[in-house]
Amino acid sequence: MQEIGHWINGKMVAGKSGRFAEVYNPATGELQARVALATADELAHAIAEAEKAQPAWAATNPQRRARVMMKLGDLINQHMDELAELVAREHGKTIPDAKGDVQRGLEVIEVCMGAPALLKGEYTDSAGPGIDLYSMRQPLGVVAAITPFNFPAMIPLWKMGPALSCGNAVILKPSERVPSTSLRLAQLAQEAGIPDGVLQVVNGDKEAVDGLIDNPTVQAIGFVGSTPIAQYIYGRAATNGKRAQCFGGAKNHMLIMPDADLDKAADALVGAGFGAAGERCMAISVAVPVGDETADRLIEKLVPRIEKLKVGPYTAGNDVDFGPVITRQAQERILGLIGSGVDQGAKIVVDGRGLKIQGYENGFYVGPTLFDNVTRDMDIYKQEIFGPVLSTVRAKTYEDALNLVIDNDYGNGTAIFTADGDTARDFASRVNVGMVGINFPIPVPLSYYTFGGWKKSAFGDLNQYGPDAFRFYTKTKTVTARWFSGIKEGAALNFKALD
């Protein structure tokens, strides 16, 4: 049985705790490895070594750090197939989807190649008599990233790229369900020129999470996961005086107006609802057709598309549309929620229960499931299912549909399909959600913008990647400088303006 350790000071090291988490192949249900869970002492050692290494990295000029990002981007491209295989083997994604996972992370690394432009300060000449005023952005020191299972490559790259580009040292704690991709990325980062100790990968569970939050050397925490844990980490980090950006769950709605192209809307819903087995925080899990006629026509178009979806192992290549969910527990939870939807009165139109894949009977599979006539009080509406389940909530009017989104506790992503520009503009203006798609089902912004939700989907003032990331991973220092060039002035006892 393979035992997976940690990446400390530029090399793989075995865990010392004697505690392990099990790493499964979701496609087969087989136990394929054990990953060590760090002790408090192991974590403290990794943080201390990162603290030693960080000043020299911070003193490296931004352009040289950007060149390291350029080399890392090249290496990720060269190893795309290998990284996708690692993602698929531990997560269960199809190979094309796994490559998309790596690619979206790589795009953030590409933005980091331009970090010097994003790290510039401001300068005002002659702000007062003989006085110059300027600001500079400086790294925080040691920062931590706690990343989820559903994007083993993308989110670690979203975190480490900007943090490293700013001159910080990074402690990365990936999900213990998918440890191998982060460890391989750390090896590639070393090959690209990241000094030993500047990027540490420490595997662990809640003990490691609490250790990162409570260690006074760690200046900032970045987290992606469930809302209860996001809120817990944000509150505890704030209590300890740390910066924190914590991203939680989602319940993403897509409105379908009567004037929408229903073929395009149906295609969008199938891709956004069932891709990656629904294990995306930006997945569309609620379809909201406006009017019964729109709903009936939409369901009619969705059913054959959903029934044609092929579910299977990543080894089947392009012959499958999506794979298993991450664990047996996740599979059982999703199946339980589907059962509750039936019990609570929703109409199950396509039933994904009981799916068995020949030769992979022990895999963690759930078939694509479509519900109609879902109401707000049902568990399948209130909870984030994080599986291949699409719920249809019928709305009588546009205002009813809009208020459904506004009233929801989550505010990660939303979309509207319509041919009317006024309706689209009104929706984008009024909806209280962080990322909005107009005739676009998964509105993940490109890497030179920024990613973040509202309400219970995010805690913290700054978002992931883009300009916000460079603000989050740096602190601003402002300098007021005076050079006496024949200026004669006595002592000033009052607090006066520079002019």
Q: Note whether 285 and 152 are same-domain residues.
A: no
Q: What is the structure's pLDDT at 1?
A: 82
Q: Note whether 88 and 221 are same-domain residues.
A: yes
Residue 327 lies in a domain: yes
> For residue 425, what are the contacts with CB-CB under 8 A and spacing of at least 6?
none
By 3-state DSSP, what share of the chain in percent is helix, strand and coil, each rounded to 5?
A: 40, 25, 35
Q: What is the structure's pLDDT at 497?
A: 57
- Give per-10-residue mean pLDDT for the chain (499 aa): 95 96 97 97 97 98 97 98 98 97 98 95 90 95 98 98 98 98 98 98 97 98 97 97 96 98 98 97 97 98 98 93 97 98 98 95 98 98 97 98 98 98 98 98 94 96 94 96 71 60
- Compute the Cα dihedral for 344, 346, 348, 351 and give only its sign: negative
Q: Note whether 244 and 344 are same-domain residues.
A: no
Residue 111 lies in a domain: yes
Kindly report, residue by residue over 421-475, the tens digit of the pLDDT. 999 999 999 999 999 999 999 999 999 999 999 999 999 999 999 999 999 999 9
Residue 446 lies in a domain: no
**CB-CB neighbours of 363 under 10 Å:** 25
Distance (Å, rounded) from C-alpha 390 to C-alpha 381? 10
Residue written as token pair 């700054």: 462
Cβ–Cβ under 8 Å, residues 147 and 233: no
CATH of the domain at 280: 3.40.309.10
Cβ–Cβ under 8 Å, residues 26 and 91: yes
Q: Note whether 242 and 256 are same-domain residues.
A: no
pTM of the model: 0.95
Residue written as token pair 């794979």: 323
Q: What is the structure's pLDDT at 128?
A: 86
Q: Note whether 297 and 233 are same-domain residues.
A: no
Q: Note whether 139 and 155 are same-domain residues.
A: yes
Q: Note whether 192 and 159 are same-domain residues.
A: yes
Q: Note whether 141 and 208 are same-domain residues.
A: yes
Q: What is the structure's pLDDT at 499?
A: 53
Please list the active-site residues. Answer: 281
Residue 498 lies in a domain: no
Q: Note whether 244 and 263 are same-domain residues.
A: no
Q: Which of helix, strand or coil describes residue 350? A: strand
Q: Looking at 408, 438, 468, which one is the last position of a domain?
A: 438
Q: Note whether 242 and 271 are same-domain residues.
A: no
Residue 493 lies in a domain: no
Cα-based distances in Å from 72 to 62, 165, 227:
15, 12, 32
CATH of the domain at 25: 3.40.605.10
Find the domain containing 304 and state its range: 252-438
Q: Note whether 198 and 71 are same-domain residues.
A: yes
Comparing CA positions, the residue from 6, 172, 23, 14 lying closest to residue 87 is: 23
Residue 256 lies in a domain: yes
Token digits for 127?
């702000």
Q: Note whether 102 and 86 are same-domain residues.
A: yes
Number of domains forming the structure of the chain: 2
